[in-house]
């Protein structure tokens, strides 16, 4: 009996996680949307400052977003947006503002094409380096998919914290493949809210524990 339940769960998992993900990528390809991975060497980026491009939009991210109270007053920024793959999923939720930045102009050019093809021309894209970027004040949600190494993450988190101190608000950080989880929670300003274990990389949701935002 227990093993029959186990098999059923396995089949459900396979259909949802594996077939669902593959079908999603096929749909994107049919639309002419390119979310293929690109190695760091091809992007010409310094491995001390950047990780390579890989796509993280689709059903896993959608499940996380469905659990969050997203509305038209919310503004989301994909920190290291790459080809805009995660933004394609974020744009299906009722954010008032959607934006992304990347270190690579090549990735931003592909992102623009992808988002326009999908009918999301209103998504703002710009070039910036997360190691020095500090313009987080207008955002209530940040998204990251393991975009850069520890040193850059530390600088980025400091700028995010500074922004919450300057403009007290509830800032939600969604971090996929959270290799540097410890950097996010280090100073106690961000606390882990939820963790989603997926077939691939986990996604963790953090929220700023700002008293003014309670």
Ligand X SMILES: C[S@@+](CC[C@H](N)C(=O)[O-])C[C@H]1O[C@@H](n2cnc3c(N)ncnc32)[C@H](O)[C@@H]1O
Positions that interact with ligand X (CB under 6 A)? 43, 49-51, 53-57, 78, 80-82, 85-86, 102-104, 107, 129-131, 145-148, 152
Q: Which is nearer to ligand X, 92 or 168 (CB)?
A: 92
Q: Which is nearer to ligand X, 146 or 163 (CB)?
A: 146
Q: How far is the CB of 84 from ligand X (least distance, A)?
A: 7
Q: How far is the CB of 59 from ligand X (least distance, A)?
A: 14
Q: Which is nearer to ligand X, 130 or 157 (CB)?
A: 130
Collapsing DSSP states into helix, strand and coil, what is residue 140? Answer: coil
Q: What angle do CA 130, 134, 135 make, to 5 degrees?
A: 115
Q: How far is the CB of 131 from ligand X (least distance, A)?
A: 5
Spatial separation of the C-alpha atoms in residues 99 and 80, rounded to whole Å:
11
Collapsing DSSP states into helix, strand and coil, what is residue 102? Answer: strand
Q: Which is nearer to ligand X, 54 or 118 (CB)?
A: 54
Q: Which is nearer to ligand X, 136 or 145 (CB)?
A: 145
Q: Which residue is nearest to ligand X (CB)?
A: 80
Q: How far is the CB of 189 from ligand X (least distance, A)?
A: 21
Q: How far is the CB of 19 from ligand X (least distance, A)?
A: 20
Q: Which residues of 55-82 are buried (b: 16+ CB within 10 A; e: fewer)?
A: bbbbebbeebbeebebeeebbbbbbbbb
Report the number of secondary-structure helices (H) and strands (E) in the chain: 8, 7
Q: How far is the CB of 89 from ligand X (least distance, A)?
A: 9
Q: Which is nearer to ligand X, 168 or 198 (CB)?
A: 198
* CB-side neighbour CA atoms (13 Å) of 124: 13
Q: Which of 175, 137, 141 is nearest to 51 (CA)?
A: 175
Would you say 85 and 56 are in contact if contact means Cβ atoms under 8 Å apart? yes
């Amino acid at each position: 009996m227990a093993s029959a339940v186990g098999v059923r769960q396995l089949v459900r998992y396979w259909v949802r996680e594996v077939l669902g993900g593959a079908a999603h990528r096929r749909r994107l390809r049919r639309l002419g949307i390119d979310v293929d991975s690109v190695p760091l060497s091809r992007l010409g980026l310094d491995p001390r400052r950047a990780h390579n491009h890989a796509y993280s939009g689709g059903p896993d991210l959608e499940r996380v977003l469905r659990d969050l109270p997203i509305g038209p007053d919310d503004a989301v920024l994909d920190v290291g947006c790459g080809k805009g793959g995660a933004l394609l999923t974020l744009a299906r939720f009722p954010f008032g503002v959607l934006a992304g930045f990347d270190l690579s102009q090549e990735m931003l050019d592909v992102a623009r094409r992808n988002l326009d093809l999908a009918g999301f021309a209103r998504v703002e894209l710009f070039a910036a380096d997360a190691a020095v970027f500090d313009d987080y004040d207008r955002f209530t949600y940040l998204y990251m998919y393991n975009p850069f190494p520890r040193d850059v993450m530390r600088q980025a988190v400091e700028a995010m914290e500074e922004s919450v101190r300057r403009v007290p608000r509830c800032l939600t950080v969604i971090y996929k493949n959270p290799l540097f989880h410890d950097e996010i929670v280090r100073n106690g300003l961000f606390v882990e809210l939820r963790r989603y274990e997926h077939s691939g990389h986990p996604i963790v949701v953090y929220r700023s524990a700002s008293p003014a935002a309670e």
